[in-house]
Chains A and B, each alone.
Chain A
Amino acid sequence: MAVLQKKSKVSDEIPSSSMADIAFLLLIFFLVTTVFPKDKGLAIVLPEPNAEEQEINPKNLMFFLVQPNGQIDVKRGESEQIQVITAQQVEGVWRTDFAQNANLIAVVQTHPESAYRHMINVLDALQSAGADKISLQVQELN
């Protein structure tokens, strides 16, 4: 009887006090090494390398000529008329023209010395206006 009743001196609980320490150590490691990815931007699709050239009715083209100072010249189809606008007006101009012609293609022709951000402003405005047929080109200087 005496033998059965003898209590063990070893605790019957699993020591868990250091568990939090270990967890926090790992936690701090991951906190320090975490970099939240910054994958965002304006998506476009480039043409295939050997895509067939398509004949497009000039009526369905709208040119946005981005100048080095950020000014935008708008040219419609074959017409030689040039409308000078700012980047903020692109969205409105596109919406008005697109409402009349749903087959309209936006051609963004940027001057080679124009800053990248001017082109981004136009592309941003066009994408905000819901344009999906956008062609990016560089102006050929004579």
Chain B
Amino acid sequence: MSIKGGGFSRKSSASDKIPDSSLADIAFLLLIFFMVTTVFRTDKEQDIEWPQAEATKRIDEKRDDILNVWLTQMGEVFINDQPLAMGQVRPIVAPIYAESDRRLVVSIRSDREVPYRLVDELQEQLKAAGVVRVVFATELEQRMTRARR
């Protein structure tokens, strides 16, 4: 004798499928976030030890208006991955500065142990190229580490 609709044969009203219609929405949301924040790297990062400073501030300037000038511990100068002699900085930077409509900001990315003589020479080159706005790139220093120094 069988019971109608009883026992094992009763079907659950819940769907046996995982709802995946919103998955694409989530993925696209993340996608759009990364598309907006992505900046394709302009130049290779040189291997330097960053100096630290507590007064470090963000530079609110368009990416295109920032020129990185690297100064490695060996005293080599790099602009856009090109190794340069100190004397070549002015002739290279001057046209870039003129092209940027005088908005260019030069970010000096120097190793912390570099003798100041080289940093001064670099500043003189930039001055001669007419660059006025310069940033010494630093890492933000926390108060805790400062107290221990």
Q: Is the CB of A123 within 8 A of B53?
A: yes
CB distance from B30 to the nearest CB of A (A): 5
Which residues from chain A contact B113 at a C-beta distance below 8 Å? 115-117
Q: Is the CB of B59 within 8 A of A43?
A: yes
Partner of A41, one of B37, B38, B115, B135: B135
Residue of chain B at shortest CB distance from A31 = B34
Q: Kindly identify, within residues 4 to 59 of chain A, every residue whose CB is under 8 Å from any CB belonging to chain B.
A: 16-17, 19-20, 23-24, 26-27, 30-31, 33-49
CB distance from A30 to the nearest CB of B (A): 4
CB distance from B121 to the nearest CB of A (A): 9
Between-chain CB contacts (< 8 Å), 29 pairs: A19-B24, A20-B20, A23-B24, A23-B31, A27-B34, A33-B40, A34-B37, A39-B63, A40-B56, A40-B138, A41-B107, A41-B137, A43-B59, A44-B134, A45-B134, A46-B127, A46-B131, A46-B132, A49-B130, A88-B146, A112-B116, A112-B120, A115-B113, A116-B51, A116-B114, A120-B52, A124-B53, A127-B55, A138-B120
Partner of B53, one of A38, A39, A115, A120: A120
Chain A binding surface SS class: mixed
Q: Is the CB of B107 within 8 A of A112?
A: no
> Across chains A and B, which 9 residue pairs bring their CB atoms closest together, nearest first?
A23-B27, A30-B34, A112-B117, A124-B53, A117-B112, A127-B55, A41-B137, A138-B120, A19-B24
Interface positions of A (Cβ within 8 A of B): 16-17, 19-20, 23-24, 26-27, 30-31, 33-49, 66, 88, 110-121, 123-124, 127-128, 136-138
Q: Known pairs A17-B20, A117-B51, A124-B54; list 5 more (Cβ under 8 Å).
A: A40-B57, A41-B57, A42-B57, A45-B134, A116-B113
Chain B binding surface SS class: mixed
A114–B114 Cα distance when bound, in Å, is 8
Q: Is the CB of A116 within 8 A of B116?
A: yes
Q: List the count of A-B residue pairs having beta carbons below 8 Å apart.
A: 158
CB distance from A128 to the nearest CB of B (A): 5
Q: Is the CB of A115 within 8 A of B115?
A: yes
B1 in contact (CB, < 8 A): no
Which residues from chain A contact B40 at a C-beta distance below 8 Å? 33, 35
Q: Is the CB of A30 within 8 A of B134?
A: no
Which residues from chain A contact B84 at a C-beta distance below 8 Å? none
Residue of chain A at shortest CB distance from B119 = A116
Which residues from chain B contact A38 at a C-beta distance below 8 Å? 137
Q: Is the CB of A39 within 8 A of B115?
A: no
